[in-house]
Structure 1
């Protein structure tokens, strides 16, 4: 069994108040309902396009870059948004990485220093969620573990797919509830990941 530090094993949940406090500007989609669609085999190629642009803009500042989230799991229905984790030495000094990312057309939407220095940028049509983390943040490790587990465990992939589709319907009038509502099932899957 792999040994993980406590910071990786203990998943934190943001409160709605914390999420609101971290918001910088407005979401482009506003209060439109969440759309979860069948897996699109073009998603890995879209990630590669984004990755190349980001790597070109940030160069050697990047410690790591990964395709994460549901679009990174073949066969998993997802919102058609590519999630990317970028690890830097430190996210505190935004002047080192925000200007080159803004030059690509990305804009800062979340600043969450309380959550391992997390920053999130999006593009204007919200096809990309770019998560910027400090090198030692535990959350990107969890992202990779969850992705890799779902890639190799079809029962949990099916459970997560059903959950996402059900929640997209049930949160139609309150789309802001979608992400927080997934936490129960995500935590159940993580119990199996860490027990394996």
Structure 2
């Protein structure tokens, strides 16, 4: 059975629908200036995830705005965990749930667990998934390019002045500027997809 990134053999077919566990949630959205403590929070969760998954995680990375020094962010730590087979949930999902994370999203190629406090989001993808590459591409570019970092922050601050039904609507509204930044990042040496 081959049905995804890299046409790999999977244990089973992946899900075909989006399951948002708990339904749509409206949350207060706000930005904080970059807090160096976010790196420590990430490190604590990286250790927790490593303890839960052992060698079942291909890689664990701090992503999102909290991973970019100097960038204002929602105080939510985003973690990227790549796993060999997204359909083999028994290998990674069960251990993460046992470690205290809660399932929030199950969708084709992607799972998301989070803390009960909703202050940490763990994105699970396969290593050759374009989304995994793009998370790292955006993070690395924003770390080295102050103009795009400022553009991204200004965009987020402007979007914070609006009302949003949920965080997904806010995230979708950032898509145009994120795609433009990623396009510039791809033109930078080392920015091309593997």
TM-score (norm. length: structure 2): 0.84
Distance in 1 between the 2:42 and 2:51 partners?
14
Greater percentage in helix = 1
Kindly tell me: are residues 26 and 87 of structure 1, through their superposed partners in 2, closer, same or farther at Cα, counting changes over 3 Å?
A: same
1:100 matched to which residue of 2? 95
C-alpha deviations, 1:38-92, integer Å up to 9, x for none? 1111000100000000000100111111000000000101010100010111110
| Selected match of 1:121 from 110, 113, 117 | 113
Confirm or deny that 1:64 pairs with 2:59: yes
Aligned to 1:82: 77
TM-aligned CA deviation for residue 33 of structure 1 = 2.8
**For the Cα contact (< 8 Å) 1:90–1:135, is it kept in 2?**
no
Question: In the TM superposition, what are the counterparts of 1:32-181 in structure 2 within 5 Å?
Answer: 32-113=27-108, 117-170=109-162, 172-176=163-167, 177-181=169-173
Q: Is the 8 A contact 2:164 2:170 kept in 1?
A: no
Shift of 1:173: 4.6
Q: CA deviation at 1:188?
A: 1.1
Distance of 1:43 and 1:106 partners within structure 2: 18
Does residue 31 (structure 1) correspond to residue 26 (structure 2)? The answer is yes
Count of residue pairs brought into register by the alignment: 172
Instruction: Describe the SS at the equivalent of 1:85.
Output: strand
Determine if contact 1:70/1:77 at 8 Å carries over to the other structure: yes
Q: Does 1:22 align with 2:13?
A: no
In the TM superposition, what is the alpha-carbon distance from 1:164 to its structure 2 partner?
A: 0.7
Shift in Å, 1:105: 1.3
Paired position in structure 2 for 1:14: none
- Residue in 2 aligned with 1:3? none
Asked if 2 retains the 8 angstrom alpha-carbon contact of 1:68 and 1:84, the reply is yes
Name the structure 1 match of 2:184: 192
Q: State how far apart, in whole Å, the 2-side matches of 1:173 and 1:108 are.
A: 23
CA RMSD of aligned residues (A): 1.6
Cα distance, 1:111 vs structure 2:
0.8
